[in-house]
Amino acid sequence: MRSNRRFYYLGLALVAGLSLGLRFWQLGRFNSLVFDEVYYVKFAQAYLAGEPFFDAHPPMGKYAVATGIWLYEHTPWLHLTTQTVTAEVNLAPTSYRWMNALVGSLIPLVVVGLALSMTDVRETARRWSFGILAGAFVAVDGLFVTESRYGLVNIYIVFFGLLGHWLWMAARREERWAIGMVLKGLSGVALGCAIATKWNGLGYVLTLVIWECWQRTRQDVHKPCWQEILCLVFFPLATYGVLWWPHLQINSESFLSIHRILFLFHQDLDDVQVACSRWFTWPLLIKPIAYWYEEVGAQAYTVNNLGNPALWLLSAASVVLLCVQRLSRIQQKIVQLLGDQPKNEGTYNSDKSAQNDVVGYLLIGQMANWLPWVLVGRCTYNYLYMPAAVFGFMLLAWLLSGWLAISSSALSRQVGFVTLVAIAFAFVFWLPLSLGSPLTPEQLQLRWWLPTWI
């Protein structure tokens, strides 16, 4: 058992090291503003200077970028290399990117923690395999790597949203009432930070609301749900409101007036761009976005937010497979709701367990963060799928953990191994597009498998 524990910790260390290395490697390579850095870095500077400006999104992400800039300027040991400053903002590139890289590096570890907190401790091999695989998938995904390496804000939605989920699931396992309430309160604060980054952070709150309602129905619980209301409604909204205060002071606006302006802005936003993509195309990687392209001599430098194709397609297949499986078990679920819940793989009978149904929770997270985009008719982009994509990665990790860790079938283990090899190959093959590494035109063309990827 002790040797197994060392093996699990080694896997966790590898996930952490890989995540950290991919996000900090040559972080200051481009000394120009990349993609939406042209907005967010300048907004961060405006916060530091106390200058008013208009932004179409809540302020949390820009606060984080501004904090990174301030710490870089006041902490000499962060100046790891001498860099040419970015002319548009007169800052070293690392100064406005390192905070994103750090937070992006932590997301795989949060995913590991969430996976461990939702599974039964009795299934140690599968529990740790699930957690390490889920964290590794986030660590090596091209979209998450790209978004973490630049002064953008989407990474903060995912970090705070998943952190809120981890704290909530940990609270459900906690037997001491006071500590459980503290964890749930902190979960509400983290969820509020996700919403205060962009409004689609609400998907993480919606996930837990649906999950808790479903669990209460399954367990036939009739006691008041004041804890859920307090921690999933009041705390997130209070945190969201408090985080607006510095922005409102600088811009001399009221909370209601700025939200009216933002709502009307997004309602009237009907511009169509080349990078636009519809919600149903996101899991299939139909339209990634080129954040940067530059030719220097015979080489091209490009930064693309293309996710790991093998990982995304296999995750989408896992979502479909498990949804079909769930629909085929409607009769069994009805029996469970009536109180006769049979034991089966992935289902736990203990009410104190953080999860009674791993797959059910992950499917709710996937759909709650993805399907609301059906209602949005304006131009949308593939990075909006990031909050939902994590749940798809975790569903794939759950399937693989069963095949590799506990299955007695040689075929299942072989399929699991081949799947991991395909994901690893895709990671290495398309990694230059995430890191902005130099490629010849022929090497670049070899990686454009669909006309829409260019």
> Residue 358: its pLDDT value, please?
92
DSSP annotation of 281? G
Strands (E) across 273-375 are located at: 290-296, 299-304
Other beta carbons within 10 Å of 36: 15
> Residue 193: its pLDDT value, please?
98
Torsion of CA 21, 25, 28, 34, to 10 degrees: -80
Q: How far apart are CA 310 and CA 429, in angstroms?
A: 11
CA nearest to 81, candidates 72, 69, 68, 89 = 72
Please list, residue by residue across 222-259, b when 16 or more beta carbons sit within 10 angstroms of its beta carbon and e when fewer do. eeeeebbeebbeebbeebbeebbeebeebbebeeeebe
Q: How far apart are CA 377 and CA 272, in angstroms?
A: 11
Residue 273 — left, alpha, or beta (φ > 0 → left; ψ -120 to 50 → alpha)? beta
> Residue 224: its pLDDT value, please?
66
Q: How far apart are CA 25 and CA 18, in angstroms?
A: 10
> Residue 343: its pLDDT value, please?
46
> Residue 346: its pLDDT value, please?
41
Show pLDDT as tens, one digit a residue, over the chain (454 residues). Answer: 455 778 889 999 999 999 999 999 999 888 899 999 999 999 999 999 999 999 999 999 999 999 999 999 988 777 766 678 888 898 999 999 999 999 999 999 999 999 999 887 667 888 899 999 999 999 999 999 999 999 999 999 999 999 999 999 999 888 898 999 999 999 999 999 999 999 999 999 999 999 998 888 777 666 668 888 999 999 999 999 999 999 999 998 999 999 999 988 887 776 667 788 999 999 999 999 999 998 888 888 999 999 999 999 999 999 999 998 888 766 565 555 555 444 444 433 333 343 448 999 999 999 999 999 999 888 899 999 999 999 999 999 999 999 988 777 888 889 999 999 999 999 999 999 999 999 998 999 999 998 888 6
DSSP annotation of 214? H
> Residue 221: its pLDDT value, please?
66
Backbone angles phi, psi at 233, to 5 degrees: -120, -60
Residue by residue, DSSP assigns 395-452 as HHHHHHHIIIII---HHHHHHHHHHHHHHHHHHHHHHHHHHT-EE-HHHHHHT--SGG
> Residue 339: its pLDDT value, please?
55
> Residue 436: its pLDDT value, please?
92
Count the domains in the chain: 1
Domain range spanning residue 271?
Answer: 2-453
With tokens 């590139």, the residue in question is: 93
> Residue 126: its pLDDT value, please?
87
> Residue 210: its pLDDT value, please?
95
> Residue 80: its pLDDT value, please?
66
Strands (E) across 215-350 are located at: 290-296, 299-304
pTM over 0.95: no
DSSP annotation of 86? B
